[in-house]
Amino acid sequence: MNHFADRLTEKIKSTQNPTVMGLDPMLDYIPESLLQRAKAQTKDSITAIGEALFLFNQALIDATFDLIPAVKPQVAYYEQYGVAGLSALQRTVSYAQEKGMLVIVDAKRNDIGSTAEAYARAILGQSVVGTDENGHPIFKSFMGGDCITLNGYLGLDGIKPFLNECSKNGQGCYILVRTSNPSAGDLQDLILEDGRTVYEAMACKVAEWGDTFIGQSGYSSVGAVVGATWPKQAESLRKIMPHALILVPGYGAQGATADDAVASFGSDGQGAIVNASRSLMLAWKKHQMPIEEFAKAARVEAIAMRDDLQAALLRAGKKIV
């Protein structure tokens, strides 16, 4: 199956869990014992940072890969640590995929022309990494994600290069429509001359751009980001984008409930996946467990989140099938 929306929908069905785990590590999230292990396995302090980030992510993946269908590493959390962080990101993407998880690279890229093409190649496609003995270019995927998050506010010029890359290998993208942050309405709620809000106009574009990417599941690999913090808007956006996969941030640490989150789901209980980052990575605090048991705590919280979302879907009459 070489279609992102179909693959994700099938993974959600098989796990009965519409959850994606955000992997946004900070060094102060990592237990001292793991930091010391990273230092012992590497030659210098810079390399040790990347090793520690990867070991932290690896433990979280090992604890949840049979429960959670996808992970979502946020690129900025790795870029802040330079080359070591980017190395950890590459290893995390590969490891999650080896464990059968889909990887949504949260990059929120946006640009036009050749710059957008370069971004697309770096995260979804293949880039030139050198030449062979005959001077021919060697191509390799820098990141190799299954999906990428995008900012669509430059219009089609900034999206098409990513769509072109997605069409080659059955990958997907999530485009910002109604974000979860408190000031989202400063621009996204502005009223246009035709009476629509800016976010409604963006939703129409996402539906249009994704029309040719609809798979057997009935959902498109061109999806939307719609925050759980705006459940009423989410209900109206689902009607505008009936075939879009929706990535739902805002659950847990940002204050949205499971009932808020399921507003983005289709009537079939499909078509959306809910993100949790800190609430899983730092679950040991909530469950009053030692920090060394962060991965075990993440599994406990992942089960609780799954059950919470399943119950909310039942209350909304949208049981996962």
Tokens of 121: 């190649």
Mean pLDDT of the chain: 93
Q: What is the per-residue pLDDT for 321? A: 72
Distance CA(124)–CA(111), nearest Å, equals 15
Does residue 201 contact residue 178 with C-beta atoms inside 8 Å? Answer: no
Taking only the tens place, the pLDDT of each residue in 136-187 is 666 566 788 999 999 998 999 999 999 999 999 899 999 999 998 889 899 9
**The pLDDT of residue 55 is above 90:** yes
Catalytic residue among 13, 39, 99, 108: 108
pTM of the entire structure? 0.94
Distance CA(249)–CA(179), nearest Å, equals 8
Distance CA(228)–CA(313), nearest Å, equals 14
How many CA atoms are closer than 13 Å to the CA of 6, on its beta-carbon side?
Answer: 10
**Beta-strand relationship, 272-276 and 244-248:** parallel
**The pLDDT of residue 128 is above 90:** no
Does residue 268 contact residue 261 with C-beta atoms inside 8 Å? Answer: no
Residues 87-107 have a mean pLDDT of 96
Dihedral sign computed on CA atoms, order 117, 121, 123, 128: negative
Q: What is the per-residue pLDDT for 277? A: 95
- Map out the domains of the chain with their CATH numbers: 4-315 (3.20.20.70)
Residue recorded with tokens 């098409």: 160
**The pLDDT of residue 18 is above 70:** yes
Does residue 279 contact residue 252 with C-beta atoms inside 8 Å? Answer: yes
Confirm whether 108 is a catalytic residue.
yes
